[in-house]
Amino acid sequence: MRLLLSLLLTSAAPFLRADEVLDRVIAHARAHPEGDAPASFRAADYRAELRELPIGVFDSGVGGLTVLEALKKHDRHDNRTGAEGADGVPDFQGERFIYLGDQANMPYGNYAAAGRTDFLRELILRDGLFLLGRRHARGDKPPVKAIVIACNTATAYGLEDLRAALKAWDLPVIMVGVVEAGARGLAESDKGAQGRVAVLATVGTCVSEAYPRAIGKVSSRQVWQMGSASLAAAIEGDPSVKASVRDILREDVGDFLREAAAVGPGAPFETLVLGCTHYPLVADAIDEAFAHWRDFRAPDGSRPYASLVAPRLRHVDPAAWTAEELWRALRAAERFASHADHEPDLFFLSVPSVAPALLGSDGGLTKDYKYGRLSGQVGRVDTINVPLTAEMLPPSTAKLVREKLPLTWRSLQARR
């Protein structure tokens, strides 16, 4: 009955063809050149010099803070000459960042399973429009000169849409996504490796086949995917997920290795691509889960998965390679900020803005409503973006950010 209600609430917006989703968003923004409506921007902002504008980063939640941390600590070049080689000064030292976590609509990875990829694409385009524009729920924000899609699922389903929209709007905004960067990082950092590659991601990212396609362009290694429906939400501290991160990983990795064993012998899994921005926060727990099953003994004393997991697992974190990709793009466009005395970074989080009947006991959108929505209402306001402070994070998430992402934590503290 609740699902029927949610479908009735959105019945005014029929299913759209793939190109219609993009066309409607493009038309909506064009109809509001002054940025005076939700999901719009001021066209005039992008006719002036852009170098002093901040860099926008967005994710389906707070997992993308791992990408922001990678940007903040990236030091692979001499800041004076641009030559390869760390100089002890972060490469983005002079840049300001604006971060958006679309937590009210997460996890993005589950929209594909619900048959709502068209709505997911619309969400991703709206995220980009928020960063391009000046509006938020409690005031104004500056526009951005570059956008980093920190979410793997959003990159898989929305990168090309956003690039097409920027071209249609004639906006010279740099666009970088984590999937392409992660694939190139695998090729550059894991030369000589012979084992299989396991891409750990959300179900939606796996369904998109984005990583196998991207990796296939740069490497001949065999790629397997392990999709989790709940790990990202558990890391985020979602109270609707009752199992612990450790238990979810044990179960997911066990299922993954059983499937691999059923196929037959093969090279061991040697490289793990952390294909969800949340996963670097629990990298140690991921290694522990693989080690658990590698050492697992069956009742007959055998170790059925020992040959499937290499003794030493290599990690590829697409976040670090995304930072390098952004650096190269900014340098090519001659768009680095000219000074470092900028305002503090800005952080935003989406929260529900609907009737209480559509909220669950945890204060978030019910699953029936969240995954029952249809595309076609670009200016919808069932969620709003509000300033994010460290105090708004669940305690478990705050602990992870504080311990694992110190530069980002410092920026969040500055927003008190």
Active-site annotation, residues: 151, 276
Euclidean distance between CA atoms 56 and 54, whole angstroms: 6
Euclidean distance between CA atoms 222 and 324, whole angstroms: 25
Q: For residue 257, with 0-12 CB atoms within 10 Å meaning exposed, 13-18 middle and 19 or more buried, which class applies?
A: buried
Is the bond preceding residue 107 a cis peptide, omega within 30 degrees? yes
Q: Spell out the long-range contacts of 408-411 with Cβ–Cβ below 8 A and sequence spacing 24 or more.
A: 408/65, 408/68, 408/69, 408/72, 411/72, 411/97, 411/344, 411/345, 411/347
Euclidean distance between CA atoms 197 and 273, whole angstroms: 7
Q: For residue 132, with 0-12 CB atoms within 10 Å meaning exposed, 13-18 middle and 19 or more buried, which class applies?
A: buried
Nearest to 294 by CA among 305, 310, 283: 305
Q: Provide the terminal-to-terminal Cα distance of the chain, rounded to the nearest Å.
A: 43
Where would I find the H helices in 74-177?
A: 117-132, 152-169
Sheet holding 174-177, edge to edge: 174-177, 146-149, 55-59, 97-101, 346-352, 383-387
- Taking the mean position of all CA atoms in its chain, how far away is CA 310? 28
Nearest to 278 by CA among 338, 309, 319: 319
Euclidean distance between CA atoms 315 and 179, whole angstroms: 15
